Amino acid sequence: MAEFALEVREHFLIAHSLPDPVFGRAEQLHGATFIVDVTFFRDTLSDKNLVLDRSLAHEVVKAVLAPLNYQNLDEKPELARRLTTTEFLCRHIFDQLVEVIDDGMLGDDGKALSRLRVTLHESHLVRASYEGDLPK
């Protein structure tokens, strides 16, 4: 199925550890800077021929990332004792975006969205994504 898409980019910085031997040196506390691409999908354009307002989309993404930015994820109660891998964080951010979309923070255009993709670039060589349909 063909869909229209709008992607906005932001970044955030964290500290965390991945306490499992499979992660090697990342098992210890370390920092990470993520570039975040959020792609909003819808089947048809709005009456203004937009997926949604770019400024509003960027504001919402920035607001969702704010509780993570410059934080030690090991100290956040909802994330403590979790393996906060890049893949896990993609899903976490996706879920937070679904909540704010459901709350109407993207207005009427947000109600027309069909799908969402969150991509985290952990370096220029590696990135991970989570993509899913939005509840109707």
Which tokens belong to 126?
């590696």
Helix (H, G, I), strand (E, B) or coil at 40: strand
Q: Supply the pLDDT for residue 80.
A: 87
How is residue 4 annotated by DSSP? E
Closest CA to 130 of 91, 97, 93, 96: 91
Q: Where are the domains of the chain?
A: 4-35+45-133
Phi-psi region of 13 (alpha: psi -120 to 50; beta: other; left: phi over 0): beta
Report the CATH architecture of 4-35+45-133: 2-Layer Sandwich (3.30)
pLDDT tens, residue order, the chain (136 aa): 679 999 999 999 999 999 999 999 999 999 999 999 999 999 999 999 999 999 999 999 999 999 999 999 999 999 988 999 999 999 999 999 999 999 999 999 999 999 999 999 999 999 999 999 998 7
